[in-house]
Amino acid sequence: MLRYVLRRLGFLVLTLILTSMIIFAMTQLLPGDTARVILGREAGEGALEALREELGLNDPLPLQYGNWLIHFFTGDWGVSFSTRSAILPLLMGRLRNSLMLTVVILFMSIPFAILLGLSAGLREGKLLDNLISVGSLSVVGLPEFVSGLVLIQIFAFGLGWFPANSSIRIGSSFLEALPMLILPALTATLVLLAYVARLTRAGVIEELKQPYVRTADLKGLPRRTVILKHVLRNALTPTITVIAISFGWMISGLIVVENVFNYPGLGRMLLFAIERRDLPLLQGVTMLTVVGFALANLAADLIYATLTPRIRLS
């Protein structure tokens, strides 16, 4: 197992190095002169040259990349062009918000999705299965800005249970933020629900066909025990892996949801950076995203290995 973990960690480092190169290269390929962007259109050639020298823009590319990476690891992620503030603390605040939202999404969607998937899988081809499939698919087909607006209409303007605007204050505690998190989390849940439920359903149907289920039944175990102890354990392995992977998406991929609800998470920051052509900020968000995805993948691999004795013990 130790070997397995180390191998995975090795892959993680490799992935990060590779993606950091891509991110670095991309910013190099973008048109425009960084010095001119900073100093503005009226700056003289001398000032531009001095700034280029100062920023190291005249160094050979590998050296620039090395410097950039060292700064990145020492926590100096630079200053945003548009807000003129240090990027790292800015992003850490946004990361915290995104994590809070993720936790709420997970608690809302996973138990429900697994329950739906299990109920559908146990009644394959029957009415309930079809209802769940059709229902969850029709929900997942809705774009988030539509389902988000519908939810706002119902729960904010209609019933008045939750606020329509989720622009929480910087540094507000989880409990303070919680009411504002419900509607965006619900919107994301609708996307995740169908996916996780279908995966669970497929896992349950697949496992039910395995001869060990017959063995468990013919041992005379109660059906409950057969399903919960024997079937579900094996059926959930792929589901849990996918949930771990989608963690990365929840942290930084909720661009539409965060915008609909004005929620200050990483997704909105990404959009903001793109709109303002704020390169250092874009680099920072992207790197953070990549790290998030890579860690989520690592977690998925490790969970999978832990749940599968054949891998864990070899």
Partner 1 sequence: MTERNHHPLLEIKDLDVAYRIRGSVRRVLRGVSLRVESGSILGVVGESGSGKTTLALAILRYLPKEGFIQAGEIWFDEHPIHALPLEQMRTIWGKEIAFVPQDPSSSLNPSIKIGEQVAEMLHLHPDDARARVIQLFKTVQLADPEHVANSYPHQLSGGMQQRVLIAMALNLKPKLLVLDEPTSNLDTTTQAAVLKLICDLIRDRGMAAIYVTHNLRLVRQVCDRVAILYAGELLEEGPTQQIFDQPNHPYTRGLLDSIPRLGENKSHMRLRSLEGRIPLSGEPTLGCNYRSRCHLSIEICEQHPALFELSGSRVSRCHRWDEIDRGEIDNRKSSAESIPILRTSKKRLPILGIEDIRVDFPLQRTFEEFIGRKQPRKVQAVGGVKFEILKGQTLGLVGESGSGKTTLARVIVGLQDTAGGTMRFLSSALPSRLNGRSMETLRQLQMVFQNTDEALNPYQTVEEILRRPLQRMLGKNRTAAKRDVLFLLDSVQLSAEYAKRLPSQLSGGERQRVAIARAFASHPTLLIADEPVSSLDASVQAAVLNLLNDMQEKDGTAALFISHDLAVVGYLADVIAVIYRGQLMEVAEAHELFKPPYHPYTEALLSAIPKIEYKNGHAKIQLKGEIPSPLEKLEGCPFHTRCPHRLGEICDQEQPPWRTLASGKRYFCHIDEDGLQKLSQDNYFRDYAELKE
Applying CB under 8 A, the residues found at the interface with partner 1 are 2-3, 6, 210-212, 214-223, 225, 229-230, 233-234, 307-310, 313
Alpha-carbon span 141 to 94, nearest angstrom: 29
DSSP single-letter state for residue 254: -
Closer residue to partner 1, CB minimum distance, 55 or 213: 213
CB 125 to partner 1: min, Å: 9
Smallest gap from Cβ 16 to partner 1, in A, equals 22
Which pair of tokens denotes residue 60?
């050979």
Q: How far apart are CA 296 and CA 152, in angstroms?
A: 31
Q: How far is the CB of 112 from partner 1 (least distance, A)?
A: 25
Indicate the residue among 55 and 122 with the shorter CB distance to partner 1.
122
Smallest gap from Cβ 113 to partner 1, in A, equals 22
Which stretches within 152-278 are classed as H helix?
A: 174-208, 211-218, 223-225, 232-252, 255-260, 266-275
What is d(CA 297, CA 284) in angstroms, rounded to the nearest whole number? Answer: 20
- Taking the alpha carbons at both ends of the chain, their separation in whole angstroms is 7
* Cβ closest to partner 1, residue 126 vs residue 169: 126
- Is the Cβ of residue 171 or residue 211 nearer to partner 1 in the bound state? 211
- Name the residue nearer to partner 1 (CB basis): 115 or 228: 228
Gap between the Cα atoms of 95 and 188, Å rounded: 17
> CB of 122: closest distance to partner 1 in angstroms?
12
8 A C-beta contact, residue 105 and residue 188 = yes
